[in-house]
Amino acid sequence: MDSLSHALHAIQGYIYPNEVELHWSVLIVLYPYVTGLVAGAFILASLERVFNVRELKPTYRLALLAALAFLLTATLPLLAHLGHPERAFSILFTPSLHSAMAVFGFVYAWYLMVVLLLEIWLDYRKFIVEKALSTGGPKGLLYRLMTLGVFDVSEKALLFDDRFGKFITIIGIPSAFLLHGYVGFIFGSVKANPWWSTVMMPVIFLFSAVVSGIAMVAIIYMASCAVRRVPVDMPCMDALTKYLFYVLILDFSLESLDVIHRIYEAEESFAIISTMVAGRLFVTLVVVQFILGTIVPLLLLGFLQLVRVGERARRIIYVADSVLILLGVFAMRWNVVIGGQLFSKSFKGLTTYKPELAGSEGILAAAAIFVLPFLILAFLAYLLPPWTHGGDEARHSAPAPAPGGAG
């Protein structure tokens, strides 16, 4: 009997019955991915508003609207996974400070209602008032509702809007860190799972979130320029990808440090983790996350820092890098969420996960949720255009001529 048991243990994929069941599907992979895009987009907007990186001005409002669009849909994967989404209100009505998820409910509400919505309202207030006074029909009524009854656009009022908006942005930076850092905290605090249990997990999640958010805004900005048939602001894209390069270096360094620490420590779980990396997760972890999603973009962006190439070639490289980075960060979320559930609690074997195509937690459901924020962003851009006719952007919260690109 013992020999049979040892023989079964040697077969990769064998696992003790009922020892592992994957409770978290692709929807839970999508959840930290979307919240990461929110945090990254807001941090990019903060570079212009707080740190006065003027080259990023064309992407400032676009990044804010993108952050809002993704934040509005960030909880949908959780609600779809929950089965009874009405139970989500329990964390607000009967909160427990001992629950990280309950605390997140308040962080989410704070970030949505106070930080993002208030900053966008202050930044667009003059534009909203002008549209409320000059537009009729349902759209004009919507603009009048958005004024919240405040029609003062005097120089003093706009100066207050600008200063208060900057203060909100400063508050929003640690709020963005907290919003996504907590996701890594949830995984990192699971002591029973050695793949997740590391103090580096919140930091790794945070920096990869910033990387993905910047890459997503870069793609959206260049796509919007193509749709509007206006030239891409290359000084803006050069500056944006420069910061993307710097943050990607930090993200890669942190992930490498975590890997080196695991190899050096080599606890009792190291054997099963090594088997998992060499087998089940080799493509998603080694090929997609590290090589395609990190090494290749680092080499290409580093090359552009040293060698000057034409605008067309730079645009192609920027798009390719951004797509690869987004793919790599998604693979990282997949490797953490799904990979952490693939091995048994006894470290004796591996199981598999095959996502279903249809169903409430299938690939189609996840794809629909991921497409939704882009549709919301398109509506927000129609209602509150983040650009002018010249393809640039002017902050309406400071005294300036009325915007010309309302459509």
DSSP state of 343: B
For residue 393, being part of any structural domain is answered with no
Instruction: Pick the closest to residue 220 from 68, 322, 370, 312 (CA basis).
Output: 322
pLDDT (tens place) for every residue of the chain, 407 residues total: 444 444 444 444 444 444 556 778 899 899 989 999 998 999 999 999 889 899 999 999 999 999 999 999 988 998 888 777 777 777 777 877 777 777 777 888 888 778 899 999 999 999 999 999 998 889 999 999 999 999 999 999 999 999 999 999 998 888 888 877 777 777 777 666 777 777 788 888 889 999 999 999 999 999 999 999 999 999 999 999 999 999 999 999 999 988 888 888 767 677 777 888 888 889 999 999 999 999 999 999 999 988 888 999 999 999 999 999 999 999 999 988 888 888 766 666 677 788 888 877 889 999 999 999 999 999 999 999 998 533 333 344 344 333 333 33
Residue 350 pairs in a beta bridge with: 343
For residue 318, being part of any structural domain is answered with no
Domain total of the chain: 1
Distance CA(331)–CA(324), nearest Å, equals: 10
For residue 240, being part of any structural domain is answered with yes
CA 130 and chain centroid, separation: 33
For residue 181, being part of any structural domain is answered with yes
Q: Which residues contact 21 (CB under 8 A, 6 or more apart)?
A: none
Q: Which residues contact 193 (CB under 8 A, 6 or more apart)?
A: 187, 340
Residue 120's domain comprises 24-248+357-383
User: In degrees, to the nearest 5, what angle opens at C-alpha 394 toward C-alphas 392 and 400?
Assistant: 140
For residue 288, being part of any structural domain is answered with no
For residue 195, being part of any structural domain is answered with yes
Whether 400 contacts 124, CB under 8 Å: no
pLDDT of amino acid 192: 62
For residue 337, being part of any structural domain is answered with no
For residue 55, being part of any structural domain is answered with yes
